[in-house]
């Protein structure tokens, strides 16, 4: 029996979507779906919900929970990763509250920035443990990574883990719709091309019936910016740099040095930036899960409709050899020629029985490549810190982050990193 292993199966709603999709996919019938999580209660909830969907859908997949990670992985053909190391409390709270003491404010803190750096540093050792297990018990498996920080973790699994890994993010899938919704345009029949790095990939081409839509998009965007709305940062970046970016405005507000500034507090109001957004979401999700849990776990008639998540479509394409196109995070083997080869990039990829085949993009417009490199600098120095154990590289990563370096002095950056290292305690490996 072929196996799909899901690491972080206690992410119950996400597991329901991705694995529910898999159970509705004809090519994945008779697979074992192996669930693993370090939280036994959430693991049991996910198993119960997925078994209900198996019954109501008539799927012939087998659902099984494991308390031994290596056994969950043993013989797997596909491994789906959705872990979060340290969770909301204590780690996410720490990532926000200590920088706040230095006057450094954040919105999401899960990609780059000081929060992204420390999320990486506590997650990379766990990912490399996964890689060791995978190389021992399922060395040919494809690793489908949904965990942030996407670019760094996907890079580490490919470069240092020796595991066939593709990183999957929703931002490419919803990019065009998000833009057209905020501008009141219809995206039916629109063609697009997107490439860059995760959370900062660019809508390079957008057309309909052979007509370039960017002139009309920019005309509408200039008018839309005269009133407050939820996507003001992205429209501002597009009007200044020429192209729309994939990830949301609350994310991009902290990827650049222009929007969250202590000396210009009016920018927060002007661009409608939701500071401390991720902690608010975490609290909301914790509360909503208490209500949602009973309705899911106790519903013996629970059904599922296939979602837009990439995972089941990727596995289906590999099983059937029917090609499927994704926006995937992969190593930059000359795909984007004006970004570093050691970086992880997000580009169109073709999936079939040969695996994931990225497409060549060439040069990005120079201003876009320059913006990407500002974030790649921090990503690569974070990896250096993780694989060498050298504390200096943590400082380097933080000093090179655009938002952090625009707000704090070198001395404050170093002091803040030291405070974060101490506060995280055993959630981090030891650095020298």
- Extract the annotated binding site: 148, 169, 199
Cβ neighbours of 33 (radius 10 Å)? 26
Sequence ranges of the binding site for substrate: 148
Q: Please state, in angstroms and rounded to a whole number, the distance separating the CA atoms of residues 352 and 320.
A: 7
Q: Please state, in angstroms and rounded to a whole number, the distance separating the CA atoms of residues 412 and 102.
A: 7
Q: Please state, in angstroms and rounded to a whole number, the distance separating the CA atoms of residues 323 and 236.
A: 36
131-145 burial: b if 16+ Cβ within 10 Å, else e = bebbeebbeebbbbb
Q: Do the beta carbons of residue 300 and residue 52 sit within 8 Å?
A: yes
Both tokens assigned to 257? 């040095």
SS3 62: strand
Q: Please state, in angstroms and rounded to a whole number, the distance separating the CA atoms of residues 136 and 128.
A: 12
Q: Strand 62-66 and strand 78-81: pairing?
A: unpaired
* Active site annotation includes 170: yes
Q: Do the beta carbons of residue 304 and residue 16 sit within 8 Å?
A: yes
Cα of first residue to Cα of last residue in the chain, in angstroms, is: 46
Catalytic (active-site) positions: 170
């Amino acid at each position: 029996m072929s196996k799909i292993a899901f690491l972080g199966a206690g992410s119950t709603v996400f597991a329901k979507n991705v694995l529910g999709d898999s159970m509705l996919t004809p090519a994945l019938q008779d697979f074992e779906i192996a669930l693993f999580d370090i939280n036994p209660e959430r693991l049991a909830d996910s198993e119960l919900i997925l078994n209900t969907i198996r019954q109501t859908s008539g799927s012939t997949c087998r659902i099984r929970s494991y308390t031994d990670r290596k056994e969950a992985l043993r013989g797997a053909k596909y491994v789906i990763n959705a872990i979060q190391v340290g969770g909301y409390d204590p780690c996410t709270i720490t990532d926000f509250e200590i920088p706040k003491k230095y006057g450094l404010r954040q919105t999401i803190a899960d990609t780059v920035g000081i929060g992204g750096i420390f999320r990486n540093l506590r997650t990379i050792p766990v990912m490399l443990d996964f890689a060791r297990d995978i190389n021992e018990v399922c060395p040919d498996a494809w690793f489908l990574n949904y965990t942030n920080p996407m670019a760094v973790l996907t890079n580490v699994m490919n470069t240092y883990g020796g595991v066939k890994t593709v990183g999957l993010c929703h931002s490419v899938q919803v990019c065009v719709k998000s833009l057209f919704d905020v501008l009141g345009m219809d995206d039916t029949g629109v063609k697009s091309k997107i490439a860059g790095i995760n959370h900062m990939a660019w809508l390079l081409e957008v057309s309909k019936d052979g007509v370039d839509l960017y002139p009309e998009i920019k005309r509408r965007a200039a008018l839309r910016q005269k009133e407050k709305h939820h996507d003001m940062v992205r429209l501002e970046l597009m009007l200044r740099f020429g192209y729309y970016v994939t990830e949301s405005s609350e994310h991009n507000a902290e990827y650049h040095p222009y929007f969250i500034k202590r000396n210009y507090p009016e920018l927060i109001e002007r661009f409608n930036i939701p500071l401390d957004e991720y902690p608010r979401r975490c609290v909301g999700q914790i509360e909503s899960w208490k209500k949602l849990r009973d309705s899911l776990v106790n519903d013996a008639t629970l059904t599922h409709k296939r979602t837009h998540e990439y995972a089941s479509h990727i596995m289906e394409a590999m099983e059937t050899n029917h090609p499927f196109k994704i926006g995937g995070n992969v190593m930059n083997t000359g795909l984007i020629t004006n970004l570093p080869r050691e970086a992880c990039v997000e580009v169109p990829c073709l999936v079939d029985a040969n695996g994931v085949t990225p497409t060549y993009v060439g040069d990005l417009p120079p201003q876009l490549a320059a913006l990407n490199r500002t974030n790649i600098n921090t990503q690569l120095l974070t990896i250096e810190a993780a694989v060498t154990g050298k504390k200096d590289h943590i400082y380097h990563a933080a000093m090179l982050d655009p938002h952090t370096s625009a707000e704090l002095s070198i001395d404050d950056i170093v002091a803040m990193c030291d405070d974060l290292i101490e506060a995280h305690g055993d959630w981090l490996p030891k650095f020298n």
